[in-house]
Amino acid sequence: MSRLAVSGLWKSYGEQPVLRGVELEVPAGSLTSVLGLSGCGKTTLLRAIAGFERAERGQISLAGAVLDDGRTYVPPERRRVGYVPQEGALFPHLTVAGNVGFGLSRAERRGKTVPEMLEMVGISSLAGRLPHQLSGGEQQRVALARALARRPEALLLDEPFSSLDATLRTRVREEVHSLLREQGVTTVLVTHDQEEALSLADSVAVLRDGAIVQQGAPAELYERPADERLARFLGAVNVLAASFHGGAAQTPLGSLELRGPLTSDAEQGLVLLRPEQLEVRALNGNSESGVDGVVGRIELCRYYGHDALLHIRAEQADGSELLLARVGGDQALPVGTRVTVRGRGSVTALD
């Protein structure tokens, strides 16, 4: 097993720095996802690890050996780092078997490796086809088999599923995931899709403006994001004013347990509450007395089938507060319904 580590990596194009001191840790055999918006530098990071771009400062190392530290530089062909680009980038002049065997020696190309690889990704029958005769999903599988055929120390996937349509994407994603699990390859997956990053990866690193904002397990990032911007990037969120009192936060939605210790001594602050942490109940009649939490009216209901997102306008003094609540699809309420909203679970305080 090989561990991939990037530390203090800088890279600019002309005057414009693209990577500003990236720190990334990919434990041996894990799948780590680099998540970021387009233009944040995630492809550049991947290309630097693959060896297509040279580092200006910082270090990239694999299994303890330095690949690039601004002085020594190992060219891509000696790195043993597999690379699956967007759209697959299959060699158009070679057959599927020719593509998969490209990185092997002449003797190996005639051996069992190619058929084994094709079988592994489930496209044995396509060995003689040319790339333009394959569907998008098949092309991705060939690209993956081609990269894995050389038994690389690490594998880099650059938005490998983004060119597939929604149904196919889910399926190919699942297959690739279980395949990588089986092989135990140290993998870096670059994506702009939060759902993909959270659901596939052992560890997610969020890249923003050329630096990693936070790296951690998917649940850790989702529940305890480093800042509000990151919280919103990972999904819808409610930011509420709260006063802190011994391990608990007093919010308009009730008293909620605080996750982790506070970083400052402030008694007032903001806390994050995900929409699925809001309990929504329709108000029957006008009996508002004794109601715990906030009373509001449903302004908008986005129905997705498996769940629904409710926009609730609170009837408070200022009347401007908008709350987002996620409920099961069967519990979607019509617009205009008066409801009470309460929080549940624990909350994270924003610094």
- Please return the burial class of 310, using the count of CB atoms within 10 Å of its CB with bins 0-12, 13-18 and 19+: buried
Q: Which is nearer to other proteins, 92 or 285 (CB)?
A: 92
Identify the residue whose tokens are 């909203």. 341
Smallest distance, other proteins to C-beta of residue 166, A: 18
Angle (deg, nearest 10), helices 136-148 and 166-183 = 20
Smallest distance, other proteins to C-beta of residue 190, A: 14
Q: Which is nearer to other proteins, 62 or 126 (CB)?
A: 62
Smallest distance, other proteins to C-beta of residue 77, A: 5
Smallest distance, other proteins to C-beta of residue 79, A: 7
Smallest distance, other proteins to C-beta of residue 112, A: 18
Smallest distance, other proteins to C-beta of residue 280, A: 41
Q: Which is nearer to other proteins, 64 or 261 (CB)?
A: 64
Q: Which is nearer to other proteins, 83 or 233 (CB)?
A: 83
Q: Which is nearer to other proteins, 90 or 230 (CB)?
A: 90
Binding residues vs other proteins (CB under 8 A): 1-2, 28-29, 47, 50-52, 62-66, 72-83, 85, 89, 91-93, 102-103, 146-147, 150-151, 153, 183-186
Q: Which is nearer to other proteins, 73 or 304 (CB)?
A: 73
Smallest distance, other proteins to C-beta of residue 64, A: 7
Distance, CA of 97 to CA of 1 (rounded, Å): 28
Beta bridge partners of 241: 270
Smallest distance, other proteins to C-beta of residue 147, A: 7
Q: Which is nearer to other proteins, 147 or 234 (CB)?
A: 147
The rounded radius of gyration (Å) of the Cα atoms in the chain is 25
Q: Cβ(131)–Cβ(139) under 8 Å?
A: yes
Smallest distance, other proteins to C-beta of residue 346, A: 39
Q: Which is nearer to other proteins, 77 or 265 (CB)?
A: 77
Q: Which is nearer to other proteins, 83 or 222 (CB)?
A: 83
Q: Cβ(130)–Cβ(170) under 8 Å?
A: no
